[in-house]
Structure 1
Amino acid sequence: MGVEEVAAALGDDPALVEWLGELQRAGEPGDELVLPSAETALTALLRLGAPAQDAAEIVAGLSELQRNPALAWLVRRCAQRTVADMGGFRPGGSWPTLPDGWDRYFYVYVFLAVLPSVRAYHERRGIPDDISWATLAALGHAVESHRQRLGTGGIDAPFWIDLHFRGGIYLLGRLGFNRGDLGFLAPAVQAAGLPYQESAPALGVHAAPTGPLDPAACDASFDLAREFFARHFPEETYRLARCGSWILDPQLAEYLPADSNIIRFQRRFQLTPETRDGDADMLSRIFGAAPDTDLATLPCRTTLQRAVIDHLQAGRHWKIGFGWLEL
């Protein structure tokens, strides 16, 4: 099996052919990049938080995948691309949707193949088991989110899960932190009188979908992050953190009380004028809904849910806001 045969199996779509070239350039997969047995896969999936129904379907698909040379070729080369950049924290290439009829759990199989490698990387870095498994459980959350949103098995945002499986992000209590740099927020930081360039190391901050943004829990996460990265990545010095999220949309202050967890989380950051369209993100994060969902069908049980719907029904739009803070 080679690129030409796989391209033909994919329908010779130009975008997918370009992706195949990207995978080929990552190099020949090592012997360690193999799919697990059904028993090993099931144990791993349940530990990673995949719903039981999805875990069973994924395991059932292993034998079909192993009988399909094109799928097997793709899985191993996608895994090789991730492993080749183990420890990296920049976007890891394209993650296209495969044609109808291809396994909807395809990228789950990729990450199962990568799992032993990222676990070994965590061990070399001295990262505790509980943090390692909690971080990698982003895969289970992504599978669960896909079923909640679309009612079928699959995986949400494989590019984001790839960051976890390359050792670029870690869940530290309530918040996740990814290694990175200041990037386009540098002018805002410089305007505040701090001499940091775009390349200055900065931790990305992410509110994991695990419950309320309790201020004490967030404080504990920031404290843990300072200690964690100093201990496990001593070659990198992080003095700044940055965040880009629907949670930082200043418009939320029109609807939520000043002492709400979300507004208190906003106040941790120096917000910048930079924003991006956030309607789709807001619907996905708050309701698990697709962008074209009829607003009248969404629940209005909480103040936040009512705010999101009222804002959109008034013809207004939500934004992804950005901010930074000193650690």
Structure 2
Amino acid sequence: MGVGVEEVAGLLGDDPALVEWLGELERAGEPPDELVIPTAETALTLLLRLRVPPQDAAEIAAGLPDLQRNPVLVWLVRRCAHRTAADVGGFRPGGSWPDLPDDWGRYFYVYVFLTVLPSVRAYHEQRDIPDDISWVTLAALGSAVESHRQRLGTGGMDAPFWIDLHFRGGIYLLGRLGFNRGDLGFLAPAVQAAGLPYGESEPALGVHAAPTGALDPAACDASFDLAREFFGRHFPEEPYRIARCGSWILDEQLAEYLPADSNIIRFQRRFRLAAETRDGDADVLSRIFGAAPGTDLATLPRRTTLQRGLIDHLRAGRHWKIGFGWLEL
């Protein structure tokens, strides 16, 4: 007897987020036969190629036989994968990604993206995207798995909605920086105030500082040069004249703790900053310290000027912000 929506819904219970998620999967339709969950052997090879740490790669691959024997999990993985694969080439938010109970698999979403992998690799090939850029971009999955273990001490994967963007062809790592396809959105008024005639739907590249080391200015310059060439060649129908960034790195309070010639301040000054900000404490704790909100600040390392400044700011009862800015390409 095959698995149906009603059977899966009964097992998920009445959690509204899970019910909404199941409805999204149902609306995505029946997955095509070629959308196949890989074998354990194939998965291990792919996981290492995606820079998943060996310990986690072995655990993930070892869990595949049990998953394959569970028709409900197979049903869910293939339908999640179908939702993403059906929108390969898109860059809008890809639906909800609820947390699932541990007994449904700590690596559930890793299995989803392994199943999507052939679809996004085919899309990259269709766009003539170089193999090295394709694989280093998709290796965001490995970084997410590594981050989860560093922060929480257990296997799992952070932020599947963010990895989904990579596996739909919406973002690319080009040297030191990542760039996602998108539009200007809510920053349009700030850009227009500067005298430029760009509206909310104007194509705009999102800029992301990958967690791979110092923000060396020369390396960042090279990434912007690569981005101009890359998107002009591989996405000529999307003319990108503006780039935008939203990050704790654009919090102007950092200038209180860092010298004017520091890499972070020099990166920040590339952008014209908008007035809008959002809460950034959780981002700072996660990205700089691998820590979760509520962590005792006394336990965090104070080895660098940046670490000391970030901690002292929080201990003084102040808060960090996510700042937003833009620049012309």
Shift of 1:138: 0.2
How far apart, CA to CA, are the structure 2 residues paired with 1:167 and 1:257? Answer: 37
| Mean CA deviation greater in 295-304 or 36-45 | 36-45
Partner residue of 2:150?
148
How far apart, CA to CA, are the structure 1 residues paired with 2:196 and 2:17? Answer: 42
Partner residue of 1:245?
247
How far apart, CA to CA, are the structure 2 residues paired with 1:263 and 1:30? Answer: 49
Partner residue of 2:61?
59
Superposed CA deviations along residues 108-146 of structure 1, whole A, max 9, x for unmatched, are 000000001100000000000000000000000000000
Superposed CA deviations along residues 298-319 of structure 1, whole A, max 9, x for unmatched, are 0000000001100000000000
Q: In structure 2, the residue corresponding to 1:90 is in which secondary structure?
A: coil
Partner residue of 2:100?
98
- Equivalent positions of 1:184-263 (< 5 A) are 184-263=186-265
How far apart, CA to CA, are the structure 1 residues paired with 2:265 and 2:258? Answer: 7
Identity level (%) = 87
How far apart, CA to CA, are the structure 1 residues paired with 2:19 and 2:322? Answer: 33
| Mean CA deviation greater in 6-15 or 302-311 | 6-15
Partner residue of 1:278?
280
Gaps of 5+ in 1: none
Partner residue of 1:300?
302
Please, what is the CA RMSD of the aligned residues? 0.7
Partner residue of 1:111?
113
Shift of 1:11: 2.3
Partner residue of 1:72?
74
How far apart, CA to CA, are the structure 1 residues paired with 2:41 and 2:69? Answer: 18
How far apart, CA to CA, are the structure 2 residues paired with 1:257 and 1:50? Answer: 36
How far apart, CA to CA, are the structure 1 residues paired with 2:267 and 2:23? Answer: 43
Shift of 1:10: 1.4
Shift of 1:31: 1.1
**How many equivalent residue pairs?**
327
Partner residue of 1:29?
31
Q: In structure 1, the residue corresponding to 2:89 is in which secondary structure?
A: coil
| Mean CA deviation greater in 6-15 or 258-267 | 6-15
How far apart, CA to CA, are the structure 2 residues paired with 1:234 and 1:69? Answer: 43
Q: In structure 2, the residue corresponding to 1:101 is in which secondary structure?
A: helix
8 A contact 1:10–1:99 mirrored in 2: no
AA partner of residue 130 (structure 1): D
Partner residue of 2:89?
87
How far apart, CA to CA, are the structure 1 residues paired with 2:294 and 2:107? Answer: 24
How far apart, CA to CA, are the structure 1 residues paired with 2:161 and 2:237? Answer: 26
AA partner of residue 320 (structure 1): I
2:311 to 309, 313, 321: 309
How far apart, CA to CA, are the structure 1 residues paired with 2:15 and 2:97? Answer: 14
| Mean CA deviation greater in 9-18 or 237-246 | 9-18
Q: 1:12 to 1:68 in 2, by over 3 A?
A: farther
8 A contact 1:149–1:288 mirrored in 2: yes
Gaps of 5+ in 2: none
Shift of 1:8: 1.3
8 A contact 1:88–1:166 mirrored in 2: yes
Partner residue of 2:290?
288
Where in structure 1 do 4 or more consecutive aligned residues deviate above 3 Å?
A: none
- TM-score, normalized by length of structure 1? 0.99
